[in-house]
Structure 1
Amino acid sequence: MEVKIGVQNAPREIVIESSQTADEVQSAVAKALEGSEKIFALSDEHGRRIIVPAERLAYVEIGESAARKVGFGTA
């Protein structure tokens, strides 16, 4: 699923494809914002970790988990 992370004072957002579920991402965001975690961390599909200081989070957009279409067909 695609996750977009907005970071304060950064001109671009971070966009990753994560294998985590929407509920797992939402739980990580909630923990970071409530103060129980100092960082917000996610893993992408390739095993790389994205770490953002919790106080710098501007927004997190969680996309739908849908299979990617391959090819040029419309079906």
Structure 2
Amino acid sequence: MEVKIGVQHAPREIVIESRQSAEEVQAAVEAALGKNSALLSLEDEHGRRVLVPSDKVAYVEIGEQAGRKVGFGAL
């Protein structure tokens, strides 16, 4: 699952590939923006944690689950 996080006053967005489901990512974002936490915490596909101050989050884009492409065949 590709997750893009826009951060205020930053020229680039943060892009991570996560094994978390869309519902898990959405719940984490809602908890962080609902003042339950000072940080938005997500885990990437390699097990690393990405922490973003919740008051600096401009937007979060949750992409679709994409399967891995195998082979060199034309689509």
The interval holding the TM-score normalised by the smaller chain is over 0.9
Aligned residue identity for 1:17: E
Q: Mind listing any 5+ residue stretches in structure 1 that lack a counterpart?
A: none
Distance 1:73 1:44 in 2: 29
Q: 3-state DSSP class of the match of 1:25?
A: helix
2:75 matched to 1:64? no
Q: What is the TM-score with the length of structure 2 in the denominator?
A: 0.93
Shift, 1:71, TM fit:
3.1
TM-score with structure 1 length normalisation?
0.93
Q: 1: CA distance between counterparts of 2:73 and 2:30?
A: 39
Aligned Cα root-mean-square deviation (Å):
1.0
- Residues in 2 aligned to 1:9 and 1:71: alpha-carbon distance in whole angstroms: 41
Corresponding residue for 1:36?
A: 36
Separation (CA, whole Å) in 2 of partners of 1:71 and 1:8: 40
Q: Gaps spanning 5+ residues in structure 2: where?
A: none
User: Once the two structures are aligned, what percentage of the paired residues are identical?
Assistant: 65
- Which residue matches 2:21? 21
**What is the SS of the residue equivalent to 2:59?**
strand
**Runs ≥4 residues deviating over 3 A:** none
Count of residues in correspondence between the two structures:
75
